[in-house]
Amino acid sequence: MSLCLMLFPVCPAGWKMFSFTCYLFSNKIDSLENGRKDCRDRGADLVIIDTVEKQEFIFKTIKQDIWIGLNDREKEGTWKWIDGTPLTVAYWRTGEPNDGGGWGEEDCVQIRSGVNAKESWNDVLLFRSLSNGNHMYVPERAHVTLIRSTT
């Protein structure tokens, strides 16, 4: 008789797994602040992009622009992730970040869908008044449940 024990990570129903982290592509559209609150209510937070693989995964899965957890609200031009880590590798659109280019202070970041994966970030106003200020958001949940399977 042989017994095989395996540990494998699982995500809650409806969430997608990538690299041992769960993502919910719910197509929900809201303001950055409401989006972040919804993420946190789910035990998650806005997406943090720390590898090129993750950038490509998120980019290819989204159907519209999304908020990500990056901002320079504390100090203009100093980009920080919502977990406090500084930005090291970025995927800005050409000409971005432009801090609004005179239209206002852009301190929050969206990933534009339908452009190039590695050139898709744009800094935007927290409350966009020029156009629709609501984007989709993708909760990212770092913790996965480990369950033990015996076969």
Rule CB under 5 A: which residues touch Ca ion?
72, 96, 98-99, 106-107, 122-123
The least distance separating Ca ion from the CB of residue 64, rounded to whole angstroms, comes to 17
26: tokens are 């719910």
Q: Which residue number, 69 or 139, has a Cβ lying nearer to Ca ion?
A: 69
The least distance separating Ca ion from the CB of residue 104, rounded to whole angstroms, comes to 9
Cα–Cα distance measured from residue 52 to residue 71, given in angstroms and rounded to the nearest whole number = 19
Q: Which residue number, 65 or 96, has a Cβ lying nearer to Ca ion?
A: 96
Closest CA to 64 of 127, 135, 140, 128: 135
Q: Which residue number, 25 or 92, has a Cβ lying nearer to Ca ion?
A: 92
The least distance separating Ca ion from the CB of residue 122, rounded to whole angstroms, comes to 5
Cα–Cα distance measured from residue 139 to residue 42, given in angstroms and rounded to the nearest whole number = 8
The least distance separating Ca ion from the CB of residue 5, rounded to whole angstroms, comes to 51
Q: Which residue number, 123 or 140, has a Cβ lying nearer to Ca ion?
A: 123
* Three-state DSSP string of 97-139: CCHHHHCCCCCEEEEEEEEECCEEEEEECCCCCCCCCCEEECE
